[in-house]
Structure 1
């Protein structure tokens, strides 16, 4: 069997990462490349971010080394900076946010300096958003921005669309980072009698107007977005904003606070398809979105995410990314 064109080395540590990894593998395959995706095996859980990253970096090294022992790919693409930290062979690096930004202080004591070296040594960087490249310090390495593709989860003609019988949804698998406390405070002010906020990604005690849905598989979360009038979030930091883009794809109005981080969805939301407000004005923005009545909103939101749709990403991969990956061999 001939060697693959591209070896992808991923962590697969979360549902979102696995989806993004599979999407890129599929896009490269549609561009005509033979692709192998090697995923790290989950390491044992430890108590600190520094040790957690070390465990995943070692697991990614083992996955990459095993794949390289079997094949001699023309290019290697590490799908996070963590996967690249202990690489057995240099390769391109894809990332949403660097350790330089999301591992402050002691949490990134060893990752940040090694990450700087890897970003400088890599033949190519593949950030998911230009903001990620800026947070990495704009290294001189050539870079190609390749977003995560987002598609509607139901037919675009609206056939069989459910009634939007859920007032609002938020995602809070990491409640502090996602600002759940700020969302709940705004909800308590903004909600009308009978309206319910569904909190996905987290278990909790239901109360009047708030229901916890726990961890949901991807299709179930998207089904919830199709039923919701509003998706609301108040992140303290946003590395990408995939849930916001998914909400737009499914015609759900999006309310957010501005946040540091690459936050790829924020320019779209601030540009007219969302409601963006600081903490003090969040209840009013949320109420405005709940009361909005624009029959054409779903179509307008879908048009706004055109650069993030699969066809647009496939063009970038076929015309720019794959030729750049294979240029050295």
Structure 2
């Protein structure tokens, strides 16, 4: 069956596996036909350079299969890795280029091939301004670019009642979890720094939930295990603060989802495109810094004050907030996230991406 657009999907992370169907849906909503050619599971190997080669070969095979089956007018490669051995030029949707995230021996061949693939592409689709910034001037001059962040929507009303990791639940409209973190990869996500900051900042009765880890973690911290997306987002709606300390962040969808669901974002600075870092600094610069414990304590106190200010008259005085202070944090975050909403994503695909891709 023919298709206007073929999306070549590597799908090695949950973020990419969720993003590709959203792109396909936006293309269909704009009136074009679309198919997805997925690479499928690939073997695990030892080095970044070899990993990228194995993944690039798998996506090349998927692209060739998809071209035979669908005879597409245009292709979109999801990630720069997917495009490295592309059998035919196509648009490249990416969070971070190898020029930025594969230093030294980790990117010996990728950094040579990537600029050539990008110059040959009809269109670049960076997820953020930070994705585009590391590219050489020659690439940016040769290929048009359309900013296309992964859409992020609120998952439901704040404080939805939902079971917690130990079977507890929150009454609707309340945030009963002090803080939450995501650390499926504890090294990359800086779990040791998160737990150290938590130990220094925590007060009696406060608890930290860590998605992607199991069991008690000490000092009121508890792993939730691996959660289904709906369960994870339900916990975000119950949490006051999301805390992050990544060693590097190429995008940071978890941080954007936390902001969308009303959490205050506390984060250590990190290299990489990391669009949520700039949003966090804009919302409250006190919540961003190497003093993660101090930032976390400030956010927890602000959240408590705001909840008290919004509560019944007998509790409002305890948390009276100053003008422009933390009680409007969620509203300001929602405004900053407007470019990440599904409507903005669909409009960009229909009005900017497809006209350039299918001309």
From the superposition, tell whether residues 177 and 163 of structure 1 become closer, same or farther in structure 2 (CA, over 3 Å): same
Contact 1:273 1:301 in 2 (8 A): no
Which residue matches 1:126? 125
Which residue matches 2:174? 163
Aligned partner of 1:149 among 145, 148, 151: 151
Contact 2:35 2:70 in 1 (8 A): no
1:152-194 CA-partner distances (Å, limit 9, x unpaired): 1014898984521111111112222222222111111110012
Higher normalized contact order (CA 8 Å, seq sep 6+, divided by chain length): 1
1:258-277 residue pairs with structure 2 within 5 A? 258-272=269-283, 275-277=286-288
CA distance in 2 between counterparts of 1:92 and 1:78 reads 6
CA distance in 2 between counterparts of 1:42 and 1:24 reads 21
| Structure 1 residue 39: Cα displacement | 0.8
More off after superposition, 217-226 vs 144-153: 217-226
Give unpaired runs (5+ residues) of structure 1.
Answer: none
Aligned partner of 1:219 among 227, 230, 252: 230
| Structure 1 residue 17: Cα displacement | 0.8
Which residue matches 1:253? 264
More off after superposition, 289-298 vs 154-163: 154-163
1:290 to 2:317 alignment: no
Contact 2:158 2:238 in 1 (8 A): no
Which residue matches 2:241? 230
1:196-231 CA-partner distances (Å, limit 9, x unpaired): 111112346532311112222211211110111100
**Secondary structure of 2:266's match?**
strand
Contact 2:160 2:234 in 1 (8 A): no
1:1-329 residue pairs with structure 2 within 5 A? 1=1, 3-138=2-137, 139=139, 140=141, 141-155=143-157, 161-203=172-214, 206-272=217-283, 275-279=286-290, 281-292=291-302, 293-294=305-306, 295-327=327-359
Give unpaired runs (5+ residues) of structure 2.
Answer: 162-170, 307-326
Aligned residues: CA RMSD: 2.0
**Secondary structure of 1:66's match?**
helix
From the superposition, tell whether residues 41 and 104 of structure 1 become closer, same or farther in structure 2 (CA, over 3 Å): same
**Secondary structure of 1:235's match?**
coil
Contact 1:258 1:276 in 2 (8 A): no
**Secondary structure of 1:265's match?**
helix
From the superposition, tell whether residues 268 and 192 of structure 1 become closer, same or farther in structure 2 (CA, over 3 Å): same
**Secondary structure of 1:199's match?**
strand
Q: How many residues are treated as equivalent by the alignment?
A: 325
More off after superposition, 123-132 vs 180-189: 180-189
| Structure 1 residue 59: Cα displacement | 0.9
| Structure 1 residue 296: Cα displacement | 4.1
Contact 1:5 1:35 in 2 (8 A): yes
From the superposition, tell whether residues 275 and 18 of structure 1 become closer, same or farther in structure 2 (CA, over 3 Å): farther
Contact 1:154 1:161 in 2 (8 A): no
**Secondary structure of 2:6's match?**
strand
Higher Rg of the two aligned structures: 2
More off after superposition, 270-279 vs 165-174: 270-279
CA distance in 2 between counterparts of 1:255 and 1:208 reads 19
Contact 2:5 2:75 in 1 (8 A): yes
| Structure 1 residue 267: Cα displacement | 1.9
